[in-house]
Amino acid sequence: MTDRLFPFVPRCDEPMMESSLPSAQNHLIELLPKKDSQRLLAQCEPVQLQLGQTLCEQGAAIQHAYFPVDGFLSLLTRIDHHPSLEVGMVGREGLFGASVALGVPTAPLQALVQGPGSAWRIGAPALRAQLDMSAALRAVLLRYVYVVTEQMASSAACLRFHLIGPRLARWLLMSEDRAHAQHFHVTHEFLANMLGVRRVGVTVAASKLQRLGLIRYHRGEVQVVDRAGLQAAACSCYERQRLAYSHQLS
Ligand SMILES: [Zn+2]
């Protein structure tokens, strides 16, 4: 079994033209029988996700669902006057808009592009029609909803019980899995917001990971240099979520 959420695919930095898009490269679509995936993809359009773009606000109607290919999203929640907090992440292992499969037309969370890249986009009515036609698609998306529920429950416990350093290591591993690259751009301020901690806490934790030779961090560019070491430093939530996904959606 791989120690990643899904196999590593080198990042392609070339602009992605429709004709050069692979058949799916989203794991949920790849789990479908060929006729179901082809029928679904015929209703999808390839789009480029831009860093910092909000695909849907919390509580807003879902206009489109997104199956990321090499872009990825943070799922954020906000209560009262507090800054947004990340409670989930979606890359090519998942989709944004799964609540459509539950018959709910609104998004419970904000979807913010954290890693730019390509995705398949489908209108919510078209996705509902596909769900009506494909038992396989219904089964895959409902299993994915289960995995996301598990992910969010463990995020709540992680926030309460795990220290910043191991949480940061987990976050970097989750991002690396979805960025399909060993380096990506992120600031301490962004990390602090995502993890729900003060910026100085992130600075201390990132410095420690760097001193241990697990990452390099320079001007917002993070490079994972020792993945095995970073996994050893991460809290147990990373492995728990990886296993939950592989049990349901392999
Ligand atoms: Zn944790």
What is the spatial distance between Cα 132 and Cα 43, in angstroms, rounded to a whole number?
14
Q: Residue 5 — pLDDT band, cuts 50, 70, 90?
A: low
Query: Which run of H or E residues covers position 119?
Result: strand 117-123
As its CATH architecture, domain 18-156 has: Sandwich (2.60)
Write the pLDDT tens digit of every residue in 131-164.
999 999 999 999 999 999 998 999 899 999 999 9
Q: How many CB atoms neighbour CB 114 within 10 A?
A: 27
Residue 23 pLDDT > 70: no
- φ/ψ of residue 110, rounded to 5: -75, 140
The secondary element (H helix, E strand) that includes residue 183 is: strand 183-185
Expressed in angstroms and rounded, the spacing between residue 42 Cα and the centre of ligand 1 is 39
How many Å apart are CA 127 and CA 235, to the nearest integer?
36
Taking the centre of ligand 1 as the mean of its atom positions, its distance from the CA of residue 170, in whole angstroms, is: 7
**Four-way CATH pick for 163-234: 1.10.10.10, 1.10.287.3510, 3.40.50.150, 2.60.120.920:** 1.10.10.10
pLDDT score for 215: 95
Check if 18-156 and 163-234 are the same fold: no
Of 16-25, 89-98, 164-173, 215-224, which range is least confident? 16-25
Whole-number Å distance, alpha carbon 47 to ligand 1 midpoint, is 33
Residue 10: predicted pLDDT: 36
Residue-range domain boundaries for the chain? 18-156, 163-234
Q: If you measure from the C-alpha of residue 63 to the centroid of ligand 1, how many angstroms do you get, rounded to a whole number? A: 32
Nearest 5 degrees, angle CA 74-CA 237-CA 151?
A: 45
Mean pLDDT, range 87-112, rounded to an integer = 94
